[in-house]
A = this chain, B = another copy of it.
Amino acid sequence: MFNEQEKKALYDVIYKRRDVRTFLSKSIPSDVLQRVLEAGHHAPSVGFMQPWNFILVKDGNLKKKLAWAAEKERKALSIHYEGEKANQFLELKVEGIKEAPVTICVTCDPTRGGSHVLGRNSIPETDILSTACAIQNMWLASCVEGLALGWVSFYKKNDVRDILSIPPHVDPVALLSIGYTEDYPSSPILEEAKWEKRRELEGLIFEDTWGNKK
């Protein structure tokens, strides 16, 4: 059982965790990084398949290549926005791969655990959902350790596979840049940039069936 202080600590971390894209070059002590990885590894996984791997990218040349892949995709996507939204988009900083001391490529191996993983037989994407749970654990752990984390999702998967020599069947689910930062945001950066607002939770809850409000 957990006490009130422990409850408060968990909720504080959950509420204060932010997506960060500005990092100092200061390196991360290896025991701290290890705790973040252990937190990820203790996520739930469908059929206990633990489909994740963690590629710790610290090499400057590889980081440059990953940043190139992200920048290429950012330019391609900017074509889809027009007018005011296009200007807003071009001003957003979408990643900090070159600055961050480490970027972790979190992968999902759909063959882990054999051909008939319990539960994954019904819903195959439960393997990447498990991987996302690991990422959320790593994010909360980073936050409590005073580390900033940014989830980069601007890339073509095959570019990342090519750069990090990832086999074709393995899914590079996320690039997580981790490091220290000078200003940890107090609210979501997309809210601060007036890109999107937080919705009212009340409007997202239904009772018993879709659309039913008590």
Contacts and interface: CB of A to CB of B under 8 A. Distances in A.
Given A47-B196, A206-B55, A211-B165, A2 B9 contact: yes
A193 to B, nearest CB: 10
Contacts of A191: 48
Interface residues of A, number: 100
A167 B13 contact: no
Contacts of A14: 39, 42, 137, 140-141
Nearest to A206: B55
A35 interface: yes
Given A44-B17, A155-B122, A157-B123, A205 B54 contact: yes
A128 interface: yes
A199 B120 CA distance: 18
Interface string A130-151: 1111011101110111100001
Nearest to A53: B204
